[in-house]
Amino acid sequence: MIVRALDKIGAKLLVMMDQAGDFALLSGRTFAAIPRSPFDTPNLMRQFLAVGVNSIPVVVLTSLAVSMVFAVQLSFGFKQFQAEGLASQVEGLAVVRELAPVITGLMMSGRVGSAMAAELGTMQVTEQIDALECLATDPIHYLFVPRLLAAAIMLPLLTGLSIYVGYWGGYGLLVGVEGQSSFVYQAEFFKLLGFRDLRIALTKGLVFGVIIALVGCWRGYRTQGGAEGVGNAPTSSVVTSSLWILIADFFLTKLLLV
């Protein structure tokens, strides 16, 4: 009984180690393949469009919603002890340091990472990846690299956009609804922030982008078993990358903030 349970745990652990090793190996190969020729500009542009430009509406809407809800909570909370003025300061802190990067990362893992997993998964089960190999094209170089570059460049930009939208979301609520002075809001929003915070936010965006692209591509590339496999790839890619985004967020915050 106990032996069997241990057996199962051991087997699970082995599988997990195996997967971690596989992921690390493929990630290494992806980074190594970045400078290799030929550089496929149209392909990269398509990914920029898919990852970056087409994600703008999602990022704008979610950032707006989250920043406004947060502002509501803050102004309500601070009203309890007559400190409404602090709401805009904390709003700035929260949006720039956490909300913008994490919300953008999570939304993008759902929008972009899952699409990558589904696309590569379909290519895998329909032998298109084998066909790439046979045409002497490294799938890592052809498929992974543009996606990685696009996500690594676009995620910080989208995080920046999210901060900008978050600023105006807070503005709309605190100034428009709660009736604070617009002049005060503009000054207070940045009061607790330094340039360092923007840098941290963008670094987080970069790291999240790398996580999203690598996990999405890896899950797709390792798809097995027809339609069911293709169905599982995006799901597990979203779960895995969301988890790693949250874990990475914790450590990045802890490390970069000291």
Partner 1 sequence: MNAQPVIDVVNLSKAFGPKVVLSNVNLQVREGESLVVLGGSGTGKTVLLRNIMGLLKPDAGHVAVEGKIIAQLDREELFKVRQKIGMCFQMAALFDSMSVEENVGFSLKRHTTMTRAEVADRVDECLGLVGLKGTNHLRPSELSGGMKRRVGFARAIALKPEILLFDEPTTGLDPVMTDVIGRVILDLKHELGVTTITITHDLKSAFEIADRIALLFRGECIACEAPADFRRNPNPVVQQFLKGDADGPFLQDPPPPKRAMSRALHPPPA
**101, 109, 107: which is closest to 197 by C-alpha?**
101
CB of 28 to partner 1, least distance (A): 13
Considering the complex, state which of residue 70 and residue 221 has its C-beta at the smaller distance from partner 1. Answer: 221
Interaxial angle between packed helices 182-189 and 85-94, expressed in degrees from 0 to 180 and rounded to the nearest 10: 40
Residue 122 or 236 having the CB closest to partner 1: 122
In the complex, least distance from residue 18 CB atom to partner 1, rounded to whole angstroms: 17
Considering the complex, what minimum distance in angstroms separates the CB of residue 141 from partner 1? Answer: 10
Rounded CA separation 245/225 (Å): 28
Minimum distance of partner 1 from residue 130's CB (angstroms): 5
Helices (H), the chain: 2-33, 41-51, 56-79, 85-94, 100-108, 114-125, 128-134, 139, 145-170, 182-189, 195-221, 226-257
Q: Residue 54 gets which letter from DSSP?
A: G
Side-chain half-sphere of 96: how many Cα atoms within 13 Å? 19
Q: Identify the residue whose tokens are 């241990």.
A: 6
C-beta of 133 vs 228, nearer to partner 1 = 133
Which CB sits closer to partner 1, 100 or 145?
145
- Residue 74 near residue 90, CB atoms below 8 Å: yes
We find the least distance from the C-beta atom of residue 181 to partner 1, in angstroms, to be 53
Closest to partner 1 by CB, 140 vs 155, is: 140
Nearest to 216 by CA among 130, 132, 110, 141: 110
Residues of this chain that interact with partner 1 (CB under 8 A) are 38, 119, 123, 126-128, 130-138
Distance between start and end Cα atoms, the chain: 48
Cβ-based nearer residue to partner 1, 89 or 114: 114
Instruction: Give residue 4's Cα distance to chain centre.
Output: 39
Cβ at position 114, least distance to partner 1 in Å = 17
